[in-house]
Structure formats: structure tokens, C-alpha cells
């Protein structure tokens, strides 16, 4: 089931995984988090990773970010090792929780990576990225003064502030209620259209994955592996009510089938 890596030109490949595996040693024996993952993420794509808990989707994202080390296979980011890509500031990472530093204002939080990387024109970058996530006017607020959705938007601005071309998002809207999540999903699509970034997005919501993505990677647990890669044929322009169209429902059904197949594999 894993001969699915599309054979596009290497120049287009931002992330390229070949026979990638990752095993965590634990006291109860080894846990296989990723097994034989073959996948290419091309420039400008919006790729969602979907699957139940323990399917390795977050681990895969963390491996791209050099937060975990693969134990077998190869992984390149922008043609280099994940470690070099990290040092080259190839990606911005958005975590499940906003992880804003409570003693910094929103503007200061967005400035954090700029300070660490020693980038100039801080004010311009802060203003531009806060405008992208619709948080202009909240520069001097502290995180606790913002709602959960606004905090997560601030963390997205922070990930965008140093102009990495790749955005890694690990269930960024998982803790938010559905109304806020719908709103942020459509804002994220607009942001993606404006910035033309490559986005890798982990979720466990089928509608979210189908709504956002140009490519959906379905994963299955124990061992974490890719069971299906679905290229979306939805139009680039996606109003929220696209989710009632037959094309959308057909894609969602295929994702659901992929998830179910992954599960029956276990039994």
C-alpha cells in the first residue's frame, strides 16, 4: 500500500520521505511509531495527515521538524537533512496548544523567533503577520487577555513571522470549538492562498482535512503507516458550504473508508 509517492521532480519536493521508520524504545519493548512511510510534499501543497491517535501523524510532523530522529529510511527537507533545514529556518511550527509565553505581549511573542534568529525589521514583520491572522490592534495585549482561538492565531503569526516557506501545523485547532474552528479553517485557506506557503497539517477531523487540503494522507496505527493518499479535486476557491457538495462528501467517504481499512487491518 505504500508505493504512493508521486514521482514529481525533485525541485518541487519540499519534503521527501523514503521507507521512513521510527521506533521508540520503551520499558515494555519497542513501539513502532512510523513504519515504511513513503511520501512527497511538493511546493505549494496543502497536505493533511489524518488518522486515529497513535497513527504516527504527529510523529511524522515532528520528524520533519527535527524534533524526533528517524531510525530507518531517509527524509529530506528542501533537499537537506531535517537538522540542516531547521538551522536554515526552513519551517514554522504551530503546536497543538498556542504555547505563547505569558510574560510577553502578543507583539513580543511574535518577535520571539525574530530575536532568536537576529532578524531586523521586527516592527514591519510583526505588523504584517498580525495583519495576516487578523490580530491587528492586539499587539500590546497579553495572551490571557485573548480567547483560545485568538491565541492560536497569534501562534500562527509567530510561525509566519520569519518567512519560512513551510508551515507545519500539529492539530492547531483541535482544542477549539466547532464554530471557531470553521472560522479559522476558512481564514487559514485565505492565508495559504495569499502566502503560497507549503502547509503540512495534522488533524483528526475528516471535514477539516477534506476542506483544507490539496492532498490528504490517511494513516493507521500500530505500526504507524500510510494507508491512502488522496489528491483532492475540489476547486481552490472553497466557501464553507462546499462541505455539502457531492464532491466533498465523496472525498470524505473515501477518507473514512481509508481510516476503516486501517483499523480492520488490526483485527
Partner 1 sequence: MRQLLAGKTAPILIVLLAIGLFWYAAAIWMNAPWQTTLNQRAGLDSVGATEFIGQTWSQDKPVLPAPHQVAGEIWNATVGTDIASKRSLAYHASITLSATLLGFALGTLLGIGLAVVIVHNDASERSLMPWIIASQTIPILAIAPMVVVGLGAVGVTGLLPKALISMYLSFFPVVVGMVKGLRTPEAIQLDLMHTYSATPWQVFSKLRWPAAIPFLFASMKVGIAISLIGAVVGELSNNAGGGLGVRLLTGSYNGQTIQIWAALFIAAGLAAVLVIAVGAAERLVNRAMGARP
**By the criterion CB under 8 A, which residues form the site for partner 1?**
65-67, 86-87, 89, 91-93, 95-97, 99, 101-105, 112-113, 115-117, 142, 144
Q: Closer CB to partner 1, residue 96 or residue 205?
A: 96
Omega of the bond leading into 223 within 30 degrees of 0 (cis): yes
Shortest distance in whole angstroms from residue 24 CB to partner 1: 15
Residue 8 has which C-alpha cell?
514529481
Shortest distance in whole angstroms from residue 53 CB to partner 1: 17
Q: Closer CB to partner 1, residue 135 or residue 189?
A: 135
Q: Closer CB to partner 1, residue 71 or residue 108?
A: 108
Residue 252 has which C-alpha cell?
470524505
CA atoms 54, 31, 264, 231: torsion sign:
positive
**63 vs 59: CA distance, rounded Å:** 6
Q: Closer CB to partner 1, residue 89 or residue 254?
A: 89
- 124: burial class by Cβ within 10 Å (0-12, 13-18, 19+)? exposed
Q: Closer CB to partner 1, residue 116 or residue 123?
A: 116
Judging by DSSP bridges, how do beta strands 72-77 and 13-26 pair with one another? antiparallel
Shortest distance in whole angstroms from residue 49 CB to partner 1: 18
Shortest distance in whole angstroms from residue 145 CB to partner 1: 9
Residue 50 and residue 229 in contact, taking contact as beta carbons nearer than 8 Å: no
Shortest distance in whole angstroms from residue 155 CB to partner 1: 9
Instruction: Point out which residues pair with 94 in neighbouring strands.
Output: 169
Q: Closer CB to partner 1, residue 58 or residue 213?
A: 58
Residue 237 and residue 245 in contact, taking contact as beta carbons nearer than 8 Å: no
Shortest distance in whole angstroms from residue 65 CB to partner 1: 6
Residue 57 and residue 202 in contact, taking contact as beta carbons nearer than 8 Å: yes
**89 vs 67: CA distance, rounded Å:** 14
Residue 41: name the closest of 154, 169, 184, 182 by CA. 169
CA R_g for the chain: 18
Q: Closer CB to partner 1, residue 87 or residue 193?
A: 87
Shortest distance in whole angstroms from residue 84 CB to partner 1: 10
Amino acid at each position: 500500500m505504500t508505493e504512493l509517492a508521486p514521482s514529481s521532480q525533485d525541485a518541487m519536493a519540499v519534503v521527501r520521505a523514503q521507507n521512513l521508520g521510527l521506533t521508540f524504545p520503551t520499558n515494555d519493548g519497542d513501539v513502532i511509531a512510523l513504519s515504511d512511510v513513503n511520501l512527497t510534499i511538493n511546493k505549494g501543497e496543502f497536505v493533511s495527515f489524518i488518522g486515529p491517535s497513535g497513527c504516527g501523524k504527529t510523529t511524522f510532523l515532528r520528524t520533519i521538524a527535527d524534533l524526533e530522529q528517524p531510525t530507518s529510511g531517509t527524509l529530506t527537507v528542501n533537499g537537506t537533512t531535517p537538522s540542516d533545514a531547521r538551522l536554515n529556518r526552513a519551517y514554522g511550527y504551530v503546536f497543538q496548544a498556542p504555547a505563547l509565553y505569558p510574560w510577553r505581549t502578543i507583539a513580543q511573542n511574535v518577535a520571539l523567533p525574530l530575536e532568536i534568529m537576529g532578524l531586523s525589521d521586527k516592527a514591519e514583520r510583526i505588523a504584517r503577520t498580525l495583519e495576516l491572522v487578523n490580530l491587528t490592534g492586539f499587539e500590546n495585549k497579553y495572551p490571557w487577555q485573548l480567547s483560545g482561538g485568538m491565541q492560536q492565531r497569534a501562534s500562527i503569526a509567530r510561525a509566519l513571522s520569519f518567512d519560512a516557506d513551510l508551515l507545519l501545523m500539529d492539530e492547531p485547532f483541535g482544542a477549539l470549538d466547532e464554530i471557531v474552528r470553521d472560522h479559522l479553517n476558512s481564514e487559514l485557506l485565505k492565508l495559504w492562498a495569499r502566502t503560497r506557503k507549503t502547509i503540512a497539517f495534522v488533524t483528526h477531523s475528516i471535514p477539516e482535512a477534506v476542506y483544507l487540503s490539496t492532498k490528504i494522507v490517511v494513516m493507521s496505527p500500530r505500526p504507524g503507516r500510510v494507508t491512502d493518499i488522496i489528491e483532492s479535486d475540489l476547486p481552490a476557491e472553497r466557501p464553507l458550504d462546499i462541505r455539502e457538495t457531492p464532491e466533498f462528501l465523496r472525498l470524505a467517504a473515501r477518507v473514512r473508508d481509508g481510516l476503516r481499512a486501517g483499523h480492520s487491518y488490526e483485527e
